[in-house]
Chains A and B, each alone.
Chain A
Amino acid sequence: MGTLFEVLTEHFDELGPGFWVTVRLVGASFAIALVVGTLVAALRIAPSKWLQRLGGMYVETFRNIPLLVLLFISYAGLRRAGVPINNWVAGIGSLGLYTAAYVAEVLRSGVFAVSKGQVEAGLSLGFSHPDVLRRIVLPQAFRTVIAPLGSITIAMIKNSAIVGVSLLTLPDLLKEARIVQARTFQTTETFFWAAVGYLLLTAGATIAFRLLERRFAIRR
């Protein structure tokens, strides 16, 4: 037990910043996922067949491709092609765009839960289609899908660990744990603290979304 805490105190200046990198990575990717996911969901319910198909293609592409492949394409691939992309942009972009596909799917299901009468009422009051979406449909859709959005966020926190161990060399929590492990060979102790870090994040997200749900959710 003694060594367990020694590992934490001795290597806190590596594991601590690693945890912070993971937090920033997750936060920025979540913002991108929400924005892009909302746009894609809007495409999928747009009044034009072509826009719907475009949104569908986005979802099918990003949902069926492994995140690791996406990271290879966006970092190693684009760099070799001469695009000067840095590891943060590639990491946040990949994780965000990947998660956006799931957000779009969930939001779409939330949109279908809003009754059609409301859309027709909005349109007949003279709102334009985007206005109906923005002011009437989406606010309600978001409030019905808080629980699944929480699960997506938890999955994203876990997926963020892939970013650090791929080619990107972002010094996130898992990467730092690996560096400490390689130097000290205290595998179980080091990984124990990394696990604590990830479980803190997923537990925090679970609690945050449960509070949001209690405050805002529409029960149907």
Chain B
Amino acid sequence: MGYLFDPANWEWLFTGNNARFILEGLLVNIQIALIAMAFSLAAGLGLALARLSRMRWLVFVTGLWIDLWRNLPLIFVILYLALALPEPWRDAYEDAAPDLLPDVLQTGRVFAALLALTLYNSAVLAEIMRAGIQSLDRGQHDAAAALGLSYWQRMRLVILPQGLRRMVPATVSQLITLHKDTTLVSIIAIQEVMRHGRIVTGFNFFGGVQAPVLQVFIFIGLLFIITNLGLSRLSRRLEIREQQRSGTTVKPISGLEDQVATAQTR
């Protein structure tokens, strides 16, 4: 305990630009998480709709696809793609990456990371969305059909607005998981917060101040706790506002880490 709180062991935090360097690393994580989340939401919605379609073979194929990516460890997928993606793909990403992205995110390795995060999270989100859509009363679907709406109109105007509202809490908890999972891309040498932390502890002796591993990573852990608590606070606020606006309590689809409570709907 004495070692942990010894001011000498925390001096590094206020020395040079160590704290700023680590915060810059965290910003990379947040950016990766947001980009991957945007792609995953779009892909997840597509997968969920495919899995609920009337074509048997499509349901079967998307079911296999979702179960495959959901049940493989994310770190496994990241490593595999980093090793196995063909070189031209990475070059294509480097060419296509918009300039407004920071330099770290324009390297070809990031493509493997983003692809892995999207494959995994879109599969998880697809199951959350499916649970949300299936939890609606069947009558909603039938009533919309009876009104003469086409499939896409029914989805867009009736089913999705209600179904997706129910999955907000589960989606936010998945975003928290995704934010934590972005630390895994440090394994394939992307310069984010874990790498920055190791650099600070490794060869950083500005003015004779040594940065101990324990304290540096406790600091990084605290940053994650703060950002993630902020996210869950935000989700609760959204929920309450939604309740006040619509005057109804929304029955949320519960999701814990990446475990989707599909058991409820099965």
Taking Cβ atoms with an 8 Å cutoff, the residues of A that contact B are 60-61, 63-70, 72-73, 76-78, 80-82, 102, 105-106, 147-148, 151-152, 154-155, 157-162, 165, 174, 178, 181, 187-188, 191, 194-195, 198-199, 202-203
**Could you tell me if A194 and B224 are in contact, using CB atoms closer than 8 angstroms?**
no
13 A-B residue contacts at CB 8 Å? A60-B225, A64-B225, A66-B183, A72-B217, A77-B214, A81-B214, A148-B261, A154-B71, A154-B259, A159-B73, A162-B73, A191-B76, A191-B79
- Which residues in window 251-265 of B have CB below 8 A to A? 256-261, 263
Q: Is the CB of A181 within 8 A of B83?
A: yes
Judge whether B224 and A60 touch: CB under 8 Å: no
Question: CA–CA, A178 to B79, complex, Å?
Answer: 9
Task: Give complex CA distance A158, B181 in Å.
Answer: 12
Point out the residues of chain A lying under 8 angstroms from B221, CB to CB: 65-66, 69-70, 73
10 additional A-B residue pairs with CB within 8 Å, beyond A66-B183, A195-B72: A69-B221, A72-B197, A73-B221, A77-B212, A102-B256, A105-B256, A147-B263, A152-B256, A162-B75, A174-B79
| In the assembled complex, B50 has its CB within 8 A of some CB on chain A | no
| Chain A hits for B4, CB < 8 A | 81
Proximity string of chain B (211-245) to chain A, C-beta cutoff 8 Å, 1 when within and 0 when not: 01111011011001100110000000000000000
- Structural contact, B256 and A151, CB atoms closer than 8 A: yes
- Interface residue ranges of B147-204 to A (CB < 8 Å): 176, 180-181, 183-184, 186-187, 194, 197
Most buried by A among B72, B218, B228: B72
Q: A67–B180 contact, CB under 8 A?
A: yes
| Residues of A contacting B225 in the complex (Cβ-Cβ under 8 angstroms) | 60-61, 64-65
Contacts of A165 in B (CB 8 A): 75, 79, 187
For B, the interface residue count at a CB cutoff of 8 angstroms equals 40
Asked if B14 CB lies within 8 Å of chain A CBs, one says: no
Task: Check A198 against B213 for contact (C-beta < 8 Å).
Answer: no
Closest-by-CB residue of B relative to A75 is B213
What is the bound-complex CA distance between A218 and B91, given in angstroms? 55
> Which residues does chain A contribute within 8 Å of B217, judged by CB atoms?
69, 72-73, 76-77
Residues of B within 8 A of A65 (CB): 180, 221, 224-225
CB nearest neighbor in A for B82: A187
Question: Which 6 pairs of residues, A with B, have the shortest CB-CB distance?
Answer: A151-B259, A77-B214, A161-B73, A64-B228, A66-B180, A158-B73
Q: Does B3 belong to the interface (CB within 8 Å)?
A: yes
The verdict on B205 contacting chain A, using a C-beta distance below 8 Å, is no
Chain B residues near A202 (CB-CB < 8 A)? 71
> Given contacts A69-B217, A73-B218, is CB(A60)–CB(B229) below 8 Å?
yes
* Residues from chain B with Cβ under 8 Å of A77 in the complex: 212-215, 217-218
Contacts of B180 in A (CB 8 A): 64-67
* Complex interface: chain B residues within 8 A of A66 (CB): 180-181, 183, 221, 224
Q: Does B74 contact A (CB under 8 A)?
A: yes
Closest chain A CB from B34 CB (angstroms): 16
Please tell me if the beta carbons of A68 and B184 are within 8 angstroms of each other in the complex: yes
| B72 with A198: CB separation less than 8 A | yes
Q: Is the CB of B256 within 8 A of A106?
A: yes
Residues of B within 8 A of A81 (CB): 3-4, 212-214
Cα–Cα, bound, A22→B74 (Å)? 15
Please tell me if the beta carbons of A73 and B259 are within 8 angstroms of each other in the complex: no
Cβ-defined contact, A64 with B213, below 8 A: no
Name the B residues within 8 Å of A158 (CB-CB).
71-74
> Do A148 and B256 have beta carbons less than 8 Å apart?
yes
Q: Chain B nearest CB: distance from A170 CB in Å?
A: 13
Tell me how far the C-beta of A119 lies from the nearest C-beta in chain B, rounded to whole angstroms.
24
The CA of A80 and the CA of B218, in the complex, are separated in Å by 13
CA distance A68 to B213 in the complex (A): 13
When C-beta atoms are compared, the residue in chain A nearest to B4 turns out to be A81
B65 at the interface (CB under 8 A from A): no
